Amino acid sequence: MMQLTSTVNYVRQNFKNNNRFDLRKVQEFLKMMNQQQILAIEARNHLYSSTLIEDPSVVTNKAVLFTNKSVLDFNCQALINGDNNEMSRYIKGFETHKINKTIDVKTSILIHTEVKQVETLLRAIYRPQNLYCIHVDRRSTAAFYEEILAISSCFDNVFLTSQRFDVKWGTMSVLEPEIECMKDLWNKSVSWKYFINLTGQEFPLRTNFELVKILKAYNGANDIAATLRLANKERWSNAGPAPHDIRPSKGPVHIAASKAYVDYLLHDQRAKDLLEWTRKTDVPDETYFSTLNSNPHLNVPGSYNGSYFANPNHTYTSSLTRYKQWRFAGQEDLCKGKFVREICILGVGDLQRLAKSEMLFANKFFLDFQPLALKCLEELIYNRTRDEYLRSIHFNDTLYTQQDFVINQI
């Protein structure tokens, strides 16, 4: 850990001093971090600026470009292409093995177990110019907490929340860590554009460059889903009317919110009043973010102002934050992994759909269930990142600029 810290400091100091690099030091840095996505080490101005753009074209030193990443023993590309033979070969081998062993973007990550999976996620999304707030569940073991603390201590821009919560589904404790991270991130830096919340069992479907382009395409709009038709209104029955003529709605806790939205949430009295009302509801994490974003009279920056809610046949407003497969009637076959508490645990059979998905992140993965799925996704994002820097692929953000919540924002 000390060696890693000294190498990180070496690279950072050379950025600041405009020095040339000892290539061996750079290779050591890349190897120990296993963070091959941090390619723009030559782009000093971009690395330390407050801009949202990260442009692969600024990289001219081919020494920082890398070769194809591959997972040994299995062909990830075949799995991504839907090759049933390769899929059967892996699943059969895995099941036998299982029997034998008991922009600047501000990101919050809620975790409770599996250090290795947290490392994999952080390695995929890490950028020196971003900030990462990690909440470790209060019920996690002391050893787990110390391991995460040790990882965070290696980086100036990765930190743990100032307060920990005992997270239990359906209670305010799901929402409180998110807001705590917002507060901590707000106090640490003002030069950022978007806030994204994750859990330790998710993984990106977009490269960092793609994610930055998407958030720029959002142009300040909040990617926060909401529904009235499918809302569980009984969850609000004991809370009384919401304050300030607010119409409650239901939506997932997963969000990509603008800085201005977070500012409103933390500092506007109407948002604070809504939060207090939400405390009296059931499953408040599926009410607060969506409701705040879908009441135009509150003038929340980037919130939704479209005609969606006037159409009784619509379900949810559009959202691209998560690929998440629920067990709905007639849609069970879309999950090629397994269902746990009505949510699909993604496996190798889901890779083809994941690779083609336009969503930002995928939820969810278990390390003890077909872990090759996560490894293949890591390979895919790694190689796609390389191709971006080699300018052999182009990302079209038109889909994201045409989203209803982007066109019809406050």
Phi-psi region of 24 (alpha: psi -120 to 50; beta: other; left: phi over 0): alpha
114 is catalytic: no
Catalytic residue among 86, 178, 286, 379: 286
Buried b (16+ CB within 10 A) or exposed e, 345-384: bbbbbbbbbbbebebbbbbbbbeebbbbbbbbbbbbbbbb
Q: Is 388 helix (H, G, I), strand (E, B) or coil?
A: helix
Structure tokens at 164: 């920990």
Structure tokens at 25: 């030091």
Order the strands of the 361-363 sheet from edge to edge: 202-204, 361-363, 322-324
What is the residue type of 252?
A: P
* Residue whose tokens read 């994941």: 354
What is the residue type of 2?
A: M
Within 8 A by CB and 6+ apart from 392, the residues are none
CA distance 152 to 161: 11
Structure tokens at 317: 């407003």
Given a contact cutoff of 8 angstroms between Cβ atoms, the answer to whether 40 and 46 are in contact is: yes
CA distance 401 to 406: 6
178 backbone dihedrals φ, ψ, rounded to 5°: -65, -45
DSSP 8-state class, residue 363:
E
CA distance 280 to 250: 15
Active site (catalytic) residues: 286
